[in-house]
Chain A
Amino acid sequence: MEMAEGILLTIVTAATPLLFAALGELIAERSGVLNLGVEGMMAVGAVTGFAAGHVTGLPIVGALAGVIAGAAMGGLFGIVTLVFAANQNASGLALTLFGLGLSGLIGNSYAGMPGLGMAHVHIPFLSGLPVVGSVIFAEDPLVYVAIALTIAVWLFMFRSYSGLILRAVGDNDVSANALGYPVLRVRMLAVMFGGACAGIGGAYLSLVYTPQWTQAMTAGRGWIAIALVVFGTWLPGRIAIGALLFGAVSILQLHAQAIGLGIPSQFLSSLPYLITVIALVIISRNKALLKVHTPACLGRTFVPDS
């Protein structure tokens, strides 16, 4: 495989778990709920995905198990913050810690085992194209799911009636409630979807990316996903670009080291995070750009008056 193809391939797969988790968090945040527990949900998705894949021998079952486990974690968050109206930030952080610990507990008996991996799907004619061929048309199935999900989320949010309700709830929960829309139900579904996406993002790590289970193998990707939602100004297309950018910088810094450019590795290691922060600062400077798409009720607790 040519080096350029190899690098692009690695970038796409590195961006995929981030994209999954960020898209899920996007839907949750668009409904007005700030869920900081993405890292915990990804970890639980990773361990359940690995366990289910290991028990059944089918990676697809593992992926589905990751989805269900993630949705369950999202549902837990929903109960705490929507039903019991707890503070969203604190609950999200607690969810992260809980998820990381729970995944470690479940994963105890699965450490040190090789995972399944997923065979790449080669689309017949298109995968023969130079450069783009193997990068876009010969990936593992979950990469295609991620691409499809980006398009589906965009269509849902901007071309469907339900998406309109979602955005309305996120922008003005009081008015939406007055108009008769079930605010809490919409938010609960959004948060569960967010959890499901984080779950499959985590399952991607333990089933395909590095097919194994290790404690804390999510390594902070959940936090990057949350940052990516802001980076993408709550638009799915921009989030995808952000995920690719972060993946690209992460991979290219390793190549820079291997080539022997002489830049200190500690600096290069921090580069992906540094670039994300710089990008966030640049975006936030344009307050108008930020205001347009930021859900106005983000993080606010809504208690329907009974």
Chain B
Amino acid sequence: MRRILVAASAAGLLIAASSGAQAEKLKVCWIYPGPHNDGGFSQQHDIGRLDMEKALGAKVETSYVESVQEGPDSERVIERLARGGCNLVFTTSFGFMDPTLKVAGKFPKVDFEHMSGYKTAPNMATYNLRWYQGRYVEGQIAAKVSKSGTAGYIVSFPIPEVVMGIDAFMLGAQSVNPNFNVKIVWVNTWLDPGKEADAAKALIDQGADVLVQHTDSPAAMQIAEERHVHAFGQSGDMLKFGPHAQLASLVDNWGPYYIKEVNAVLDGTWKTHQTWAGMAENDVLVEPLKNMPDDVKKMAEDTIADIKSGKLVVFSGPVYKQDGTEVVKKGEVMSDKDIDSLNYYVKGITEKLPGK
């Protein structure tokens, strides 16, 4: 009996020692709002994760949970990750904000990063991309390429992140054609191919010949291809869904950001932050520029270079609200805080924002 006890405790110590040795690897975990291979938003995060894994190799161990519902149920998933030994957790959608904050409070030794939110804690940072910079470029391209002067914009929910995209798109379009029109349809979901396709058909039937989306599936791109109009892809390159339709795609390039953050944790220099990266850091790309005349392509490339260098600031004055009030004077620039809480349309958009 005593021999068995000694053997068992020796085995136990051995296992503890070996798992202690394994704890050298940093465990980095993600939760995605959709499937890891949705061809769009969640997939780009997953590609970023794989890029980071490739760059940092043996120092890290990664895992992800996909298709997590935004809202209270995600708290259970985040908590399971924290409890299961994750050192750094990325929660990649707006709706994970409050659950992440709650779990961060319970696990002070684990670092959390929430994408696209605005609440932080000593161990919880937020990060986001200046997609609106890409939208400005898309607006310029759309205004040049569109024959009907009307674009169709398919969007999910009226949160500031989405509204700033519409406003930036409009500002970009107006810089080329001051009378450009945009028709907006809210589908109240981030991913529903059937509904997105229906919205695309409705917009095209109403006269739009360039489609933009802030939803996750390539359904609208397919409809654009079928109906011989143009469209911009979202999150990932959707060229194979619309070889003649896609002008460019607003690509999320998460690799550089994730590598930076994980390195910070490995160095011990990580601390809470509210990062808003964009074209300058190469995290937002508008590519590949296809299916457009060469002069439009050159204009787009020039704009991208100007935004990257800081020469062109998207929300620089004058900017007017829908009712005509001037919110940013000429020569001034909208503050990040104001952009982040944008809840109005700019002048030139004739529709009403839902909930206003």
Interface residues of chain A, those whose CB is within 8 Å of chain B, are 1, 3, 6-7, 10, 14, 104, 108, 111-112, 114, 117, 205, 209-212, 214-215, 217, 219, 221, 250-251, 254-255, 257-260, 262, 264-266, 269
Q: Are B185 and A269 in contact (CB under 8 A)?
A: no
Give bound CA distance, A1 to B198, whole Å: 16
Q: Are the CB atoms of B218 and A266 closer together than 8 Å?
A: no
A210/B194 contact (C-beta < 8 A), A108-B37, A262-B352 known = yes
Q: Say which residue of A114, A215, A259 sits within 8 Å of B240 (CB atoms).
A: A114
What residues of A have a CB within 8 angstroms of the CB of B249 in the complex?
A: none
Answer whether residue B317 sits at the interface, using C-beta atoms and an 8 A cutoff: no
Nearest 6 Cβ contacts at the A-B interface? A112-B39, A265-B186, A111-B37, A254-B202, A6-B205, A210-B193
Contacts A209-B194, A258-B206 given; 6 further ones with Cβ under 8 A? A3-B205, A108-B37, A111-B35, A257-B202, A259-B206, A262-B351
CB of B185 within 8 A of CB of A257, answer yes
**Residues A258 and B203 in contact, CB atoms below 8 Å apart:** yes
Measured CB to CB, the closest approach of chain A to B218, in angstroms, equals 6
Question: Which residue numbers of B lie inside 8 Å of A, CB to CB?
Answer: 34-35, 37-39, 43, 67, 152, 158, 183-188, 191-199, 201-206, 208, 217-219, 222, 226, 236, 240-241, 350-352, 354-355
Known contacts A254-B199, A264-B355; A205 and B194 CB within 8 A of each other: yes
A254→B198 contact, CB < 8 A: yes
Cβ A210 vs Cβ B222 within 8 A: yes
- The CA-CA distance from A96 to B44 in the complex, in Å, is 30
Chain B residues whose C-beta falls within 8 Å of the C-beta of A264 in the assembled complex: 354-355
Please measure, in the bound complex, the distance between the C-alpha atom of A108 and the C-alpha atom of B187, giving whole angstroms: 25
* Residues in A neighbouring B240, C-beta threshold 8 A: 114
Q: Are B35 and A214 in contact (CB under 8 A)?
A: yes
Contact call A214/B201, Cβ cutoff below 8 A: no
Instruction: Check B202 against A251 for contact (C-beta < 8 Å).
Output: yes
Could you tell me if B205 and A7 are in contact, using CB atoms closer than 8 angstroms? Answer: yes
Please give, as numbers and ranges, the residues of chain B lying within 8 Å of A7 by CB-CB distance: 202, 205
B202 touches A212 (CB 8 A): no
A-B contacts, 26 listed (Cβ < 8 Å): A108-B35, A108-B37, A112-B43, A114-B218, A205-B194, A210-B197, A211-B222, A212-B241, A214-B193, A214-B217, A215-B34, A250-B198, A251-B202, A254-B187, A254-B198, A254-B199, A255-B206, A257-B351, A258-B152, A258-B206, A260-B352, A262-B351, A264-B355, A265-B188, A265-B354, A266-B355
Hey, which chain A residues are within 8 Å of B354, CB to CB? 264-266
Which B residues are in CB contact (< 8 Å) with A251?
198, 201-202
- Partner of A258 from B35, B185, B193, B241 at Cβ < 8 Å: B185
Are B205 and A255 closer than 8 Å at their CB atoms?
yes
Docked complex Cα distance between A233 and B85 (Å) = 55
A114 and B222 in contact (CB under 8 A), knowing A264-B354, A269-B187?
yes
In-complex Cβ contact of A260 among B193, B197, B350 (8 A): B350
Residues from chain B with a CB closer than 8 A to the CB of A117 are 226
A161 CB, min distance to chain B CBs, angstroms: 39
- Report the bound CA distance from A14 to B194 in whole Å: 9
Determine the chain A residues whose CB is within 8 A of the CB of B222 once the complex forms: 114, 210-212
Instruction: Point out the residues of chain A lying under 8 angstroms from B350, CB to CB.
Output: 260
* A192 → B minimal CB distance (Å): 26
**Complex partner residue of A111 from B38, B196, B202, CB under 8 angstroms:** B38
Q: Which residue of A lies closest to B226 (CB)?
A: A117
Contact B192 A219 (CB under 8 A): yes
Q: Are A257 and B38 in contact (CB under 8 A)?
A: no
Known: A111-B39, A114-B218. A266 touches B188 (CB 8 A): yes
Contact A257 B37 (CB under 8 A): no
Bound Cα distance from A269 to B188, whole angstroms:
7
A260 to B183, CA, bound (A): 8
The answer to whether B351 and A215 have CB atoms under 8 Å apart is no
Taken together as a complex, chains A and B put the C-alpha atoms of A103 and B306 apart, in Å, by: 46
User: Are A255 and B202 closer than 8 Å at their CB atoms?
Assistant: yes
CA distance A111 to B38 in the complex (A): 6
Question: B35 touches which one: A215, A250, A266 (CB < 8 A)?
Answer: A215
Docked-complex contact B241 and A114, CB < 8 angstroms: yes
* Chain A hits for B185, CB < 8 A: 254, 257-258, 265
What residues on B are CB-neighbors of A211 within 8 Å? 222
Q: Which of A251, A258, A269 is the most central at the interface, judged by chain B CB atoms within 10 Å of its CB? A: A258
- Residue of A whose beta carbon sits closest to that of B185: A257
Residues of chain A lying within 8 A (CB to CB) of residue B351? 257, 260, 262
**A217 contacts B194, C-beta separation under 8 Å:** yes
Q: Quick one: closest B residue to A254, CB to CB?
A: B202
Residue of A nearest to B351 (CB): A260
CA A100 – CA B56 in complex, angstroms?
36
Chain B residues with Cβ below 8 Å from A255 are: 202, 205-206
By beta carbon, the residue of chain B nearest A1 is: B205
Q: A residues within 8 A CB of B34?
A: 215
Q: Are B184 and A257 in contact (CB under 8 A)?
A: yes
* Closest B residue, CB atoms, query A109: B37
Chain B residue contacts of A205, Cβ below 8 A: 194
Given A114-B241, A258-B185, decide whether A10 and B202 contact each other with a Cβ distance below 8 A. Answer: yes
- Residues in B whose Cβ lies below 8 Å from that of A104: 35, 67
Once the chains are docked, how many angstroms separate the CA of A247 from the CA of B35?
27
In the complex, residue of chain B having the shortest beta-carbon distance to the beta carbon of A114: B241
A250, A255, A257, most chain B CB atoms within 10 A: A257
Q: Which residues of B contact A258 (CB under 8 A)?
A: 152, 183-185, 202-203, 206, 208
A127 to B124 alpha-carbon distance, docked (Å): 61
**B contact residues around A210 at 8 Å (CB):** 193-194, 196-197, 217, 219, 222
Contacts of B188 in A (CB 8 A): 265-266, 269
What chain B residues lie within 8 Å of A269 (beta carbons)? 186-188
